[in-house]
Amino acid sequence: MSTKRLIDEQALHQKHYAEICEKLKQDPFAQFLGIKLIELGEGTATAEVTVAEHMLNAHGTAHGAIIFSLADFVFAAACNSYGKTSVALSMNIGFLAAAMKGNRLVATATEEKKNNRTAWYRIRVETEHGLVATLDALAYRKSDYFVEIDESE
């Protein structure tokens, strides 16, 4: 009979916080877009990007893709914040208001529920003028960790 060892993911987050942050900050696409990770907690994250000219759509407002990309990045940061490899299963976004060139978009992800294999997140994207978009996201939590786990954890 096999017994699985439970891993204290809060302790893992705290012990490997700097390593986890560094890995998330190295996301090539987020770097390309200018997205910056501002805060990382246990199952939470905040990131930002400033809307530039090349991020506008034909109507002169922030393209939905930049809003979604910021929300996706902060979701990825939150669900990977324990050092366990996690990937998106599904995401549903609602665009509620326009953002303009020069607006600072700030996205915050909050973990609503997690177990060993899945986790549910709510993401808010806002500017200084209010709520721009909300996103509900479901993550698949793989069996591997991208930080080192020793027997004491």
Residue 90: which CATH number? 3.10.129.10
Match 């200084």 to its residue by tokens: 128
Contact of 20 with 40, CB cutoff 8 Å:
yes
CB 46 within 8 A of CB 106: yes
Mean per-residue pLDDT, 122-130: 97
Decide if 17 is inside a domain. Answer: yes
In a domain, 120, yes or no: yes
Residue 97 lies in a domain: yes
Q: Tell me the average pLDDT of the chain.
A: 94
Q: What 3-state DSSP class applies to 72?
A: helix
Q: Is residue 78 part of a domain?
A: yes
Beta bridge partners of 98: none
Say what percent of the chain tops pLDDT 70: 95
> What dihedral do alpha carbons 62, 67, 68, 70 form, nearest 10°?
140
Task: Look up the pTM and report it.
Answer: 0.93
Residue 103 lies in a domain: yes
Question: 1 or 60: whose pLDDT is higher?
Answer: 60
Q: Structurally, how many domains does the chain consist of? A: 1
| Res 149 pLDDT > 90 | no
Beta bridge partners of 93: 135
| Structural domain span for residue 106 | 9-143
The answer to whether position 4 is within a domain reads no
Inside any domain, residue 117: yes
Q: Find the mean pLDDT for residues 88-109.
A: 98
For residue 152, being part of any structural domain is answered with no
